[in-house]
Amino acid sequence: MKLSYKIFKVKNLKSKRKLVCLTAYSKPIAKILDRYCDIILVGDSVATAFYGMKSTKEIKLDTMIEHSISVKKSVRKSTLVFDMPYNTYRNTKEAKKNAIKVFKKSHCDAVKLESNGKNFNILKSLVKSGIPVMGHIGYTPQYKGKFKPQGLNKKQQKKLINEAIKIEKAGAFSIVLECINSDTAKKITESVNIPTIGIGSSSACDGQILVVDDLIGLSGFYPKFVKKYVNLEKILDNVLKRFRRDVIRSKFPLRSNTY
Ligand code: KIV
């Protein structure tokens, strides 16, 4: 299958330089991200980070398509990946139908599937029909219960390495490694020829991804793998305090703000 230029570029970055990846759910944020990211993911984390849902499993395909349409309006150079939500790729037929709908409506470049350790054929069938796929292993919230770091012992390590190799063989162009022990992440990265994108999986990965709301301090969710680069909540709090004061003291609007 002929790879699109954007997918080729991502694959080619392995061992050249680290890949920079973030999630986005809207046009204004994506506009800034597009300047710095190799990959922008419309993640199912929109469920918890944006809608305040209890689990990513609650988000609907159509809701995510609307977010992807918004994000796409700003994306020029980054590779836009759509995260297939829970129960939208349970078999080949369902996966193809939904992925084609996603492509037609949002014009993304690829989709991401979480691995349940069994769905390699579904991934393969999408790739065969021309849809680029990113894999996702380790802590996969759609299939796992309570949060737990993964790949902590030799048995788990071997299982994850095999899973990554099967995903590569099925045709994925990259794999997210979520909350995987650093030694295991390193061994997986060395075992596959496609880029590994880590979240909570150490600098041994070929690239890094974070949920943008965590990075900018808007989500209130700061596990140890997140680096909060700015506390936007605090900055906005200050701004809104000033706005409230100005309105109450009739300092806003001024004549210059008036017709
Ligand atoms: O939905 C998401 O944001 C993700 C990342 C954690 C990779 O899948």
Q: Domain 5-228, CATH 1.10.468.10 — does that match?
A: no
CA distances from 30 to 9, 40, 83, 141 (A): 19, 8, 16, 24
Nearest to 169 by CA among 191, 154, 151: 191
CA–centroid distance, residue 4 to ligand 1 (Å): 23
At 15 the pLDDT is 85
At 2 the pLDDT is 63
Among 38, 41, 50, 225, the mutation site with the greatest number of ligand 1 atoms within 8 A of its Cβ is 41
- Report the nearest-CA residue for atom 5 of ligand 1: 43
% the chain with pLDDT above 70: 99
pLDDT in tens, 171-192: 999 999 999 999 999 999 999 9
27, 71 contact by CB (below 8 A): yes
Q: Is the pLDDT of residue 21 over 60?
A: yes
At 63 the pLDDT is 98
Which numbered atom of ligand 1 lies nearest the CA of 209? Answer: 7
At 145 the pLDDT is 87
Distance CA 186, CA 206 (A): 9
Spell out which residues line ligand 1, taking CB within 6 angstroms: 23, 41, 43-45, 83, 176, 178, 199, 209, 211
Nearest to 180 by CA among 222, 211, 149: 149
- Report the nearest-CA residue for atom 4 of ligand 1: 43
Q: Is the pLDDT of residue 246 over 70?
A: yes
4, 109 contact by CB (below 8 A): yes
CA–centroid distance, residue 239 to ligand 1 (Å): 30
CA–centroid distance, residue 257 to ligand 1 (Å): 41
Domain boundaries, the chain: 5-228, 231-259
CA–centroid distance, residue 45 to ligand 1 (Å): 6
Beta strands in 24-103 (DSSP E): 39-42, 79-83
At 199 the pLDDT is 98
Nearest to 153 by CA among 141, 161, 145: 161
Residue tagged active-site, from 163, 168, 178, 190: 178
Structure-token pair, residue 16: 């050249």
Region for residue 84 given its phi and psi (left: phi exceeds 0; alpha: psi -120 to 50; beta: otherwise): beta
pLDDT in tens, 38-66: 999 999 999 999 999 999 999 999 999 99
Residue 142, classed as helix, strand or coil, is coil
At 222 the pLDDT is 87
pLDDT in tens, 59-83: 999 999 999 999 999 999 999 999 9
Q: Is the pLDDT of residue 1 over 70?
A: no
178 is catalytic: yes
Among 56, 150, 197, the mutation site with the greatest number of ligand 1 atoms within 8 A of its Cβ is 56
In sequence order, what are the residues at sequence separation of 6 or more whose Cβ sits closer than 8 angstroms to the Cβ of residue 23?
Answer: 40, 41, 42, 43, 45, 46, 49, 209, 210, 211, 212, 213
At 3 the pLDDT is 75
Beta strands in the chain (DSSP E): 19-23, 39-42, 79-83, 110-112, 133-138, 174-178, 196-199, 207-210
In sequence order, what are the residues at sequence separation of 6 or more whose Cβ sits closer than 8 angstroms to the Cβ of residue 3?
Answer: 11, 132, 173
Distance CA 154, CA 222 (A): 29
CA–centroid distance, residue 74 to ligand 1 (Å): 20
pLDDT in tens, 113-154: 999 999 999 999 999 999 999 999 999 999 998 999 999 999
Nearest to 138 by CA among 126, 127, 130, 147: 147
Mean pLDDT score across all residues of the chain? 97
